[in-house]
Chains A and B, each alone.
Chain A
């Protein structure tokens, strides 16, 4: 990924049109579910992956089916 090094002055000039300085409507506080701590969120995400895995496992596939790794339509 090619990024560009800018001076502080250049960054300030670039940001002069940014939404932050133009007074974007502040985001309302994210309504957190008190039951879900970051650890619980991670647990839930892992559980979702596990459920996806189970769904995929149920799907019968012929051995000859190759993955669409070089995906072209």
Chain B
């Protein structure tokens, strides 16, 4: 029985794939090591929803057979991964992170998981999440069936949500990659707070069949990984049309950075204040360095202004209306009161009272937002901003109040880029770019629809010049769990 070296828990997909092909260890050995680690350390971070050790072992045995016969299925073959517990996996509990659904079992598997199974990737566990992916809103990090997501860099801080377990598991080396979902910030935020690389795909690029709906017009499934390249490799496999998800646009994604546009022709727009006064003071030095590193890639950097819209009220109205409609049976049955977060309970109930005229007005303004971004992307190719403007908050901190007492920024800059980008259906890539108060911070790149390869090329080149994505949480933090 080969021993799995510690470095493997923090290796990229390509690195592990090479070792599997070289038969340094078997897929079964690798899967067992990752399952052991996920079960041993995952609960200490409130990251684990369900271990799938037995199913994983069976699949690993099959993949070992393929590798023995030199039937190579691609870079994900034999790679252990986890999935946010909002994705159905047949005949196993899928809780959506919420007590009212704790015993829920589906008889089918979500399309992205089916696609990954075909590549030979090994699903070792379902990962914890904020209940109902955050619903309309929530006040506390503890809004989850499994408790607050504890950050591997400091367990007194939040992991971010709603893909909390996915962020934690990748950061702590419990899986090689994970699937998360984003309605408005749920991939980017935990990726930034946990120091991993996360990709929110263009709306409609990845099927959501088998995923819990929160907002039909906003939900996206995407990869959370160790590097931009890993995000590209995973997206390559999970993207594409699916007749079971009418929102899929019929487009595929081929990860091909070698054919990406020369970066000297790529125009990157940013707002200086985002990297200065708007950012939390402890984060400013590394944000400034990140901006310089982006410049050093040879891209054309230019100042830009976000189109002016009431993004917050628009996205809040849309999510609240759609979520209330989706969860109407839960609300009317009274089981909504079993949720952990009082703000989420009240938000779902009140969502049923939103006038149709308000929802339609929000969706009409949304059409204008799409047009405005289309115009903006005539002059630039990529928007650049901090993913979050400071590090993860303490787990007890209310999330619906500002993290600091600092006054609001004088100019909004790109502070609304997360709701704006989600409303316009744009892809985004979050890249670790340094530390503030000992916690990871990150930048985000946002492009026009279906330009994931451009974002990933910038991300790959940024990560070739930095090592933030290679940093690991301090060993004593993990050992003490």
Contacts A/B (CB < 8 Å), 11 sampled: A2-B107, A6-B105, A15-B93, A17-B51, A22-B48, A28-B142, A32-B342, A52-B312, A56-B310, A56-B314, A61-B365
B450 pairs with A55, CB closer than 8 A: no
From B48, B52, B425, name the one whose CB has the most chain A CB atoms within 10 angstroms: B48
* Known contacts A19-B128, A27-B148; A44/B366 CB under 8 A: no
Chain A: minimal CB distance from B17 (Å): 26
Asked if residues B39 and A22 are in contact (CB atoms below 8 Å), the reply is yes
Asked whether B395 lies within 8 Å of A28 as measured between CB atoms, the reply is: yes
- Sample of 12 further A-B pairs with CB below 8 A, known A24-B46, A41-B346, A59-B309: A6-B91, A27-B146, A28-B148, A31-B140, A36-B342, A41-B345, A42-B349, A48-B347, A49-B354, A52-B312, A68-B367, A71-B247
8 A Cβ contacts from A16-49 to B? 17-19, 22-28, 30-32, 36, 38, 41-42, 44-46, 48-49
Question: B55 → chain A, closest Cβ, in Å?
Answer: 9
B147 touches A25 (CB 8 A): yes
- The answer to whether A24 touches B43 (Cβ under 8 A) is yes
B317: A residues at CB distance < 8 A: 49, 52-53, 56
In the complex, B42 has a CB within 8 A of chain A:
yes
Binding site for A on B (CB under 8 A): 39, 42-46, 48-54, 90-93, 103-108, 125, 128, 136-137, 140, 142, 144, 146-148, 150, 202-204, 217, 247, 249, 309-310, 312-314, 316-317, 320, 337, 340-343, 345-347, 349-351, 353-355, 358, 360-368, 370, 395-396, 398, 424-426, 449-450
Distance in angstroms from B312 CB to nearest chain A CB is: 8
Please, how many angstroms separate the alpha-carbon atoms of A36 and B360 in the complex? 31
B367 touches A73 (CB 8 A): no
A-side interface size class? 35 or more
Neighbouring B residues of A26 by C-beta, 8 Å: 147
Secondary structure at chain A's binding surface: helix, strand, loop or mixed? loop
Provided the pairs A2-B106, A73-B204 are in contact, do residues A14 and B146 lie with their beta carbons within 8 angstroms? no
Cβ of B194 to closest chain A Cβ, rounded Å: 17
Identify the closest chain A residue to B316 (Cβ).
A52
Identity of the chain A residue whose Cβ is nearest the Cβ of B93 in the assembled complex: A14
| B351: A residues at CB distance < 8 A | 45, 49
Residues from chain B with a CB closer than 8 A to the CB of A19 are 42-43, 46, 48-51, 128, 146
The answer to whether residues A45 and B247 also contact, given A30-B140, A72-B204, A73-B204 and a CB cut-off of 8 A, is no
CB distance A73 to B104 under 8 Å? no
Contact A68 B363 (CB under 8 A): yes
Chain A 54-73, CB within 8 Å of chain B: the 1/0 string?
01111101000111110111
B364 pairs with A52, CB closer than 8 A: no
